[in-house]
Structures are given as C-alpha cells and as structure tokens.
C-alpha cells in the first residue's frame, strides 16, 4: 500500500497516468463503450464494479488537467437530445470535476461518433462498471509547474 494514493488506482492505471504526456487524453467510459475495438491495441484498463464518478474521483486526485485548452474534459452528447442536455451520470461527473478542479469544471461535449474518433487517438481507455449510458468522458492531461 502507498500513502495518499486512492485504492482504485492500481499499478496498471498508475503506470498509464504516469506515462502520459502533456496533452494526452485518457478516456473514462461506461461498461457499454466498445473500448477494445476503439483502443486498437492501446491500453484498456478495467475497473469493473466501479462507477464512472468513483473512477473519476480517483483519477482526478493525481491527474492534472490541461490549462491550455478551453475544455480539458469532454463528455459524449446524448443522441437525439440538445447539445446542452446532460443525463444524471454526466451531472454527477460534473460535481466530481468541480470538487477536483474548479478551474476546469465546465465540460465540452462531442457528438457520439466524434467522441469515438477522439477516443481512438487517446493514450488509453478506462472501462468502468458504470451501468448508465453516456457515462463517457475524455480527460486531457496537463502539467505541474515547479
């Protein structure tokens, strides 16, 4: 065990987060997301039995978000709904985001297939046990200045 490291951050996930560079994305998704086919050989980390908000809280406890872009966190838009519409899972994620990093609290959004394309470019995908649809988010890693 390590002090001050969230217990959901296993060795594989910590290694991925450490290995990412400034501007790299990590995708945090619900259990319905086609992670393996989208990842196309990139790391897919499973956190079965964990909600997307629990996973986000753990990841955001160590991951700095990019301050050089308008929206370092993006969510998948709900098909057939207005762009601004956020289901409960996204509202809860927003609350976790505000608690972790209030400067980056306003999420951007991507249409479903644009989200898939962005996910293909990501460094890794974390699949949670989130049962609610549209629990899919991109997080862009930032820097920690000395």
Set 22, 88, 98, 112: catalytic member: 22
Question: Element (H or E) spanning 45, and its range?
Answer: strand 44-47
Nearest Cα residue to 138 out of 126, 129, 130, 128:
126
Q: Is 6 a catalytic residue?
A: no
Q: Which residues of 64-81 are buried (b: 16+ CB within 10 A; e: fewer)?
A: bbbeeeebbbbbbbbeee
Quick check: helix, strand or coil at residue 44?
strand
Question: Catalytic residue numbers?
Answer: 22
């Amino acid at each position: 065990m390590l002090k001050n490291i969230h217990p959901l951050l296993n060795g594989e996930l910590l290694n991925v987060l450490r290995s990412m560079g400034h501007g790299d994305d990590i995708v945090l998704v619900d259990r319905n997301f086609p992670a393996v086919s989208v990842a196309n050989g990139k790391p897919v980390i499973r956190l079965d039995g964990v909600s997307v908000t629990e996973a986000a809280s753990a990841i955001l406890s160590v991951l700095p978000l990019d301050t050089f872009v308008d929206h370092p966190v993006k969510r998948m838009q709900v098909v057939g709904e207005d762009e601004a519409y956020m289901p409960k899972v996204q509202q809860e994620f927003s609350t976790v985001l505000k608690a972790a990093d209030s400067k980056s609290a306003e999420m951007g959004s991507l249409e479903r297939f644009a989200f898939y394309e962005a996910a293909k470019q990501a460094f890794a995908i974390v699949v949670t046990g989130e049962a609610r649809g549209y629990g899919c988010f991109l997080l862009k890693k930032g820097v920690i200045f000395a």
